[in-house]
Structure 1
Amino acid sequence: MARTAFAPAKVNLFLHVGAPGADGYHPICSLMAFADVGDRLTLREAVALRLDVRGPFAAGAPATAENLVLRAAHALLARARGPVAPIGLVLEKMLPVAAGLGGGSSDAGAALRLLREALDLAIEDADLERLAAELGADGAACLWGRPVVAEGRGERLSRAPSLPVLDAVLVNPGVPVSTPAVYRALDASGRFGEVARPSMPEAFETAAELAGWLSSQRNDLERPAVATAPEVGAVLETLAGERETLLARVSGSGGTCFALCGGDIEAEGLAERLEAMAPHWWVRRCRLGGPWPDER
């Protein structure tokens, strides 16, 4: 019964955030891509529903009722028709927590996909997407792990432009960044952005072309994230000054920055130099795109 699903890191290539509405939620528009690095979720036989969390970042994602993997499992099983066999889930937590990489949402998406397939549940894609959206703002986008434009609260998804495979480096200074704190800082600043979907070509042919276009876009949470955690600003400044970097930006509400590079050699060289320069940083060379196979 053992099966595995890959939960890729989410990267916001741009993230526009508007003023909060009467309900307190901020509308967004974001182009998201997914990395070939992430967490892994394994399904095993068990006597009762159980989650074990392992890996270098397990302490930040304890197996409590609030863990999005368990929430996803309970929500899906509640929709199932008839009894199902007890299941055990093992989460290998390879991504830092509170890092702007959508790790919890991606883990939940992996759980939904894995359980539906393994238990042969008669649940349509649209129903699965609704369940994912109910679990968080990134839930719907992270379910399938493919490039997408997210709008509204993140639940309105549309096809992203065709992207080349993007060689990149992810860097996290090891400081968790609270998303609510970042939004509070944004609200205090009053610097809200336009959230209408920007005009985009149907396809970007090269990383340099995409980086050039992205330079006219922004992450509206970048400034408040840096204000909340100055260590993130140090990473961003370092990446922006490196010769291999085509574009440096904060992903999501912060914690992790990314550098787009012109190719694999450039990304490898940048990652190796950063690891030597700041061994306490979490540094991962990756490719952005998706969806990636579960065998990764």
Structure 2
Amino acid sequence: MPADDVARELESMTPGLGAEARATFRDVLATTLAEDAYTCAPSPREVFFGDVEEGERTIRGSMPHYRFFFGPMHYQVRRVGARGGAPGRWEVSARFAVVLPREGGTLELADCDGKERYEGEVVCRGVPFSRSNTTVACPASGEFRVAGTRHNMEALLVRWSEEAEQYWNRDAERYGLPVRYDFTFLPHDQAAREGVPVDLTLPLSTTCGRTPYFWSLRSGWSLPVIAHEAGHLLGLVDEYEALSGIVPFYPKTPFPGAQTSRMGLSMKEDTILYPMHHWIVVRRYLCPEPSGRDPWGHAFQ
């Protein structure tokens, strides 16, 4: 389907978009289709509500990051057909194997929600990062930390596994889209011991900071930020000015109209994954398999 027709269908599923947001999302759509090795552009209505054959597929490749280099894309898509009166649905999953650091020191957190998960003293001072009313991922709004024990690191991964996907599922439900997401974060040694396949292996850094999603996972990232970074592994691009937000004199600057998008402002609780984002992720199931070597193949072991 021509990109303009795809955009019109997606806009019809997204009431309330302003002119700036429509223009920006059309640019994002065009960039994604131009850069993506999965080149097909099926009708969004057919993708979400059509009669699609059951099956499961691994999506793999790379997408541009900050417009300077490419980062990995790797996830699973499963199509479940209609049965028992229930319509067909999509199931999208990604599994992160996390290399835990040695025990010791402190583990910085973004808030103290779920503090009963942790052992030892839990320091909770100030405003949680995701509610700081700023546009930075690691604001100076509070201090949240626990001891850097393996128990606490594993507890944090469990929380991410249970709650980061909820932002995706919330927004799919908001627009009546039959898509469910499941993100799993587990220790690398556990994944190796159990022989489970993973979509990306990353070290855990015990602080908060601004680093690319394929460099490390930061214990101080809030759940909204984790949901945003998972979006990159699912092949979504950023929707803000490259390198904005790194230094105080150049604050995070979303593209016009993208301040309501999860990929525009990652750190906000209420930013949204729009129908366009869900379509980009699941429509790759219907595309021909790309040819060529995957430059990030080593990261998925």
Q: TM-score, normalised by structure 1?
A: 0.24
Larger proportion of strand? 1
